[in-house]
Amino acid sequence: MPPRPATLLEKGGARARYARGGADLRRAQALRQQCFHPAATGGLDSDAHDALCRHVLIEDRSGSLLGTFRLLPLPDAAGIGDSYSAQHYDLTRLEGFDGPVLELGRFCIHPAARDADVLRLAWGALTRVVDETRSGLLFGCASFAGTRAERYLDAFAMLRQGHLAPPRWTPRVKAPRVFPFAERLQRDPDRRLALLHMPPLLRSYIQMGGWVSDHAVVDEQMDTLHVFTGLEIGRIPPARARALRAVAA
């Protein structure tokens, strides 16, 4: 098999590429620390899953880091229990998903970067990886900053109203602390506020037909609320799929 190219995608003076060693990984971990642990000074955000994953760096033409994420390709969903997400959610229902699956994790954008530009390049790069791995499901945890659910009630109400996982795939509760928004929230959301307070990555997921767990995990260690998010590649609306292909071309 030929070696995997270092650069996944290059567009408009920016590029997405695989990390090439320890120095690249530390740069990614430093940005993750800045984004996920803003109150901390220095240090690196790291965990045991880093050693299992492929790490992607998004850089501008000067080499400055604009964003990063990590990927865990699994040849079949029977191994989904080895994913980072499985630490927080009971994913046994998804073990029956047919074909390879791909976990996307630790996605973050530098505070000084333009979210839309980084997201566009990231989704183009992800399209290439999905094709390379023939993955039928892209999944992960989409994080809201902080652990106060009250800030995000409209966002959670919107997720409950139209974006819950199909019953056959719904993750069960595993974490000790959760916010069961599908059970508690009966309100109609203010869609403007919902989208305003929703993480950019999660907005992209649901615009493509993605779905979420019926509860959010209260993650004290990461100081986040997060929902399990799945995107079945074969169910992406055709117009969205064409747009992704155009970016990835």
Tell me which residue range forms the domain holding 83: 69-248
Q: What is the pLDDT along the chain (249 residues), one digit of tens a residue?
A: 344 568 999 998 899 999 999 999 999 999 999 999 988 878 999 999 999 999 999 999 999 999 999 999 999 999 999 999 999 999 999 999 999 999 999 999 999 998 899 999 999 999 999 999 999 999 999 999 999 999 999 999 999 999 999 999 999 999 999 999 999 999 899 999 999 999 999 999 999 999 999 999 999 999 999 999 999 999 999 999 999 999 998
| 198 domain-assigned | yes
According to DSSP, the residues that pair with 232 across neighbouring strands are: 137
Which sign does the torsion angle of CA 34, 38, 42, 45 carry? negative
176 in Cβ contact with 210 (< 8 Å): no
| 211 domain-assigned | yes
Q: pTM (2 decimals)?
A: 0.94
Helices of type H across 97-146? 115-133
| 112 domain-assigned | yes
Instruction: At 180, list the tokens.
Output: 């069961």
pLDDT of residue 40: 83
The rounded radius of gyration (Å) of the Cα atoms in the chain is: 17
| 108 domain-assigned | yes
| 30 domain-assigned | no
DSSP secondary-structure letter at 135? -
| 123 domain-assigned | yes
Domains contained in the chain, number: 1
Amino acid at 233: I
Reported as type and span, the H/E element at residue 23 is helix 22-36
Strand segments, DSSP code E, in 137-187 are 137-145, 172-173, 178-179
| 229 domain-assigned | yes
| 110 domain-assigned | yes
